[in-house]
Chain A
Amino acid sequence: MDGNRRYARKRQRVASSGHVSGFYRLAKVLEWCNDLGVGNVSVFAFAINNFNRTPEEVKTLMDLAESKLRELAEKSDLVQRHGVRICVIGNRSLLSQGVQEAAEFAEQKTMHNRGMRLNICFPYSATDEISSAIRKVVEDVDTGKLQHAEIDEKALESRLQIPGPDLDILVRTSGQIRFSNYMLWQSVKMAYIRFVDVFWPDFSFFHMICILISWQLAYNDIQRRKQLRK
Chain B
Amino acid sequence: MAVFVWFISLMALAAIAHLSGSRGKQGLKQQLADGACSVVLRSAQLAFAVHRSFQAWVQNSLTQAGLDMQELLQGDDTEAILAKRQQLSDLLASLPQRPEHLAVILPEHEVRENEAIGGLLVSEVDDVEVLCAWGLLAKIRRLSIYARDDSLGRAFDSIAGRLRNSKMVARAFNGRTPDICLDSSGRVEHICANSGSTRPDIHISLWTRDHGYPSLVRLSRELSREVQSKALAPAAITEALVADRLQDPRGSKHPELVLLLDDLPCVSEFPPWPLQNSELVQADSGARSLGDAVFRALVCFAKIEMRFGK
Binary flags per residue of A164-187, CB closer than 8 Å to B gives 1, else 0: 000000000000111111001101
Cβ B280 vs Cβ A179 within 8 A: yes
14 contacts between A and B (CB under 8 A): A49-B308, A127-B242, A135-B234, A142-B234, A177-B304, A179-B276, A179-B280, A181-B276, A185-B213, A185-B272, A188-B267, A190-B266, A191-B266, A225-B111
Chain B positions 107-152 with a Cβ under 8 Å from a chain A Cβ: 108, 110-111, 115, 148
Cβ B265 vs Cβ A138 within 8 A: no
Given contacts A148-B221, A185-B272, A188-B212, 10 further A-B contacts (CB under 8 A): A135-B234, A138-B224, A138-B234, A153-B217, A156-B217, A188-B272, A189-B269, A190-B269, A191-B266, A218-B265
Residue with the greatest number of chain B CB neighbours at <10 A, chosen from A135, A152, A153, A189: A135
Cβ B266 vs Cβ A138 within 8 A: no
Cβ A131 vs Cβ B242 within 8 A: yes
Cβ B224 vs Cβ A137 within 8 A: yes
Residue on B nearest A182 in the bound complex, by CB: B276
State whether A52 and B264 are in contact (beta carbons under 8 Å apart), knowing that A179-B276, A181-B277 are contacts in the complex.
Answer: no
Cβ B110 vs Cβ A228 within 8 A: yes
Is A50 engaged at the interface, CB distance under 8 Å to the other chain?
A: yes
Residue on A nearest B305 in the bound complex, by CB: A176
The CA of A11 and the CA of B241, in the complex, are separated in Å by: 43
Is A194 engaged at the interface, CB distance under 8 Å to the other chain?
A: yes
State whether A134 and B223 are in contact (beta carbons under 8 Å apart), knowing that A142-B228, A188-B267, A193-B267 are contacts in the complex.
Answer: yes
Residues of A within 8 A of B216 (CB): 130, 134, 153, 156
The CA of A139 and the CA of B237, in the complex, are separated in Å by: 10
How many whole Å from B99's CB to the nearest CB in chain A?
A: 12
How many whole Å from A222's CB to the nearest CB in chain B?
A: 6
Cβ B277 vs Cβ A141 within 8 A: no
Residues of B within 8 A of A185 (CB): 213, 272
Q: Which residue from B228, B237, B278 sits with its C-beta under 8 Å from A179?
A: B278
The CA of A187 and the CA of B280, in the complex, are separated in Å by: 12
Residues of B within 8 A of A53 (CB): 309-310
Residues of B within 8 A of A31 (CB): none
Give B contacts to A, CB under 8 Å. 108, 110-111, 115, 148, 212-214, 216-217, 219-221, 223-225, 227-228, 234-235, 237-239, 241-243, 263-273, 275-281, 300, 304, 307-310
Cβ A192 vs Cβ B219 within 8 A: no
Cβ A218 vs Cβ B267 within 8 A: no
Is A118 engaged at the interface, CB distance under 8 Å to the other chain?
A: no
Binary flags per residue of A40-53, CB closer than 8 Å to B gives 1, else 0: 00000001011011
How many whole Å from A92's CB to the nearest CB in chain B?
A: 15
Cβ A218 vs Cβ B243 within 8 A: no
Residue on B nearest A186 in the bound complex, by CB: B272
Is A94 engaged at the interface, CB distance under 8 Å to the other chain?
A: no
Cβ A134 vs Cβ B237 within 8 A: yes
Residues of A within 8 A of B279 (CB): 177-178
Cβ B309 vs Cβ A52 within 8 A: yes
The CA of A178 and the CA of B309, in the complex, are separated in Å by: 12
The CA of A52 and the CA of B224, in the complex, are separated in Å by: 33
The CA of A134 and the CA of B246, in the complex, are separated in Å by: 13
Cβ A187 vs Cβ B267 within 8 A: yes
Is A126 engaged at the interface, CB distance under 8 Å to the other chain?
A: yes
Cβ B277 vs Cβ A153 within 8 A: no
Cβ A192 vs Cβ B278 within 8 A: no
Cβ B276 vs Cβ A184 within 8 A: yes
Residues of A within 8 A of B220 (CB): 134, 137-138, 151, 155-156
Q: Which residue from B225, B228, B235, B272 sits with its C-beta under 8 Å from A184?
A: B272
Residue on B nearest A6 in the bound complex, by CB: B307
How many whole Å from A67's CB to the nearest CB in chain B?
A: 24
Cβ A188 vs Cβ B269 within 8 A: yes
Cβ B219 vs Cβ A221 within 8 A: no
Is A128 engaged at the interface, CB distance under 8 Å to the other chain?
A: yes
Binary flags per residue of A143-162, CB closer than 8 Å to B gives 1, else 0: 00000100111011000000
The CA of A103 and the CA of B263, in the complex, are separated in Å by: 40
Q: Which residue from A52, A142, A181, A187 sits with its C-beta under 8 Å from B227?
A: A142
How many whole Å from A178's CB to the nearest CB in chain B?
A: 5
Residues of B within 8 A of A127 (CB): 239, 242-243, 273, 276
Residue with the greatest number of chain B CB neighbours at <10 A, chosen from A126, A130, A138, A195: A138
How many whole Å from B224's CB to the nearest CB in chain A?
A: 5
Residues of A within 8 A of B237 (CB): 131, 134-135, 138
Residues of A within 8 A of B268 (CB): 188, 190, 225
